[in-house]
Amino acid sequence: MRIIPAIDVLGGKCVRLSKGDYATRKIYRDSPLDVAKEFEDCGLKYLHLVDLDGARSQHIVNYGVLREIATKTSLTVDFGGGIKSDDDVRIAFENGAAQITGGSVAARQPDVFLRWLSTYGAEKIILGADANNRKIATQGWIRQSELDVADFIADYARKGISYVICTDIQKDGMLQGTSNELYAEIIGKIGVKLIASGGVSSMDDLTALQQIGCEGAIVGKAIYEGRIALEELKKKLQ
C-alpha cells in the first residue's frame, strides 16, 4: 500500500481543516515546499496536494506551489481542489501534477469529467469521491447530493476510472480512525484502486487499511499533530 502524505494549501501556507470547515483551519507551516522536502527526505515518494483556495474559488489558484514542489522535489504529486475546467486541468499538468483529482466535476458535470478521462487516460485522472453520511458532497464539501458513494464509484468504474480517492468527511481531520467498513464494501464490490482519505490517527490505522486492500492511504493531520512520526513511516517503507 502506498503511503501518501497530504499538504493542504490555503493562502500559500500549509494548513489542515476539520471536516472541511474553513473556520477550523490551523496553520502548521509557512512553506509547503519545506514540508514536501521533509517528506522526501523521509523516503516518501508520493504527495497529495490540495488547493483549498481553489476549492473555494472554483478554479485552480495555487499552481505556483504545485510547480515549486514538482520542480524542487522528486515527489509524484496528485493535485486537487478547484479543478473545474479544461484550462484548470491543463494548468495542473503543465505545472507538474502527475495526476489530478476531480470530485465536484464528476458529480455535477459528468460529461466534462469523462472527456478528461478519455483525453488523459485512467492513470492520470483520479475520481474524488467525498462522502458525508454516504452521500457525495461537492464544491468544497459545501453542497451535498443524493448520490450514494458506492453507487457513484461503481458507475465510474464501469466507465473506465481506475483510481479513486474516497474521503469520509465526518472522519476528515478528526484523528478518530478511518471508515474501514465503507472501504471494505467498496473494494469487495468494485474493482478500483481505492485510496483511503480521512481519519488516519496511528500506524495501526494504516495497517488496517493495508489489510482491507486499499491501494493507498492519505495521511495528513496525524503527521502534523505528531501522532505518526516520519521516522515510523520511514521504517514501514523499508
pLDDT tens for the 238 residues of the chain, in order: 999 999 999 999 999 887 777 888 999 999 999 999 999 999 999 999 999 999 888 899 999 999 999 999 999 999 999 899 999 999 999 999 999 999 889 988 999 999 999 999 999 999 999 888 888 876 555 566 678 999 999 999 999 999 999 988 776 656 677 989 999 999 999 989 999 998 899 999 999 999 999 999 999 999 999 999 999 998 887 6
Q: What is the DSSP letter of 181?
A: H
Q: Where are the domains of the chain?
A: 2-237
C-alpha cell at 44: 516518501
Q: Which residue is catalytic, options 8, 78, 172, 205?
A: 8
CA triple 58-96-116, angle to 5 deg: 55
Active site residue 130: yes
- How far is C-alpha 30 from the geometric centre of its chain's CA atoms? 21
Q: Which residue is catalytic, options 51, 53, 88, 130?
A: 130
What pTM value is reported for the model? 0.92
Q: Give domain 2-237's CATH superfamily.
A: Aldolase class I (3.20.20.70)
Strands, E assignment, 36-151: 46-51, 76-80, 99-102, 125-132, 135-138, 143-148
Helix, strand or coil, per DSSP, at residue 57: helix
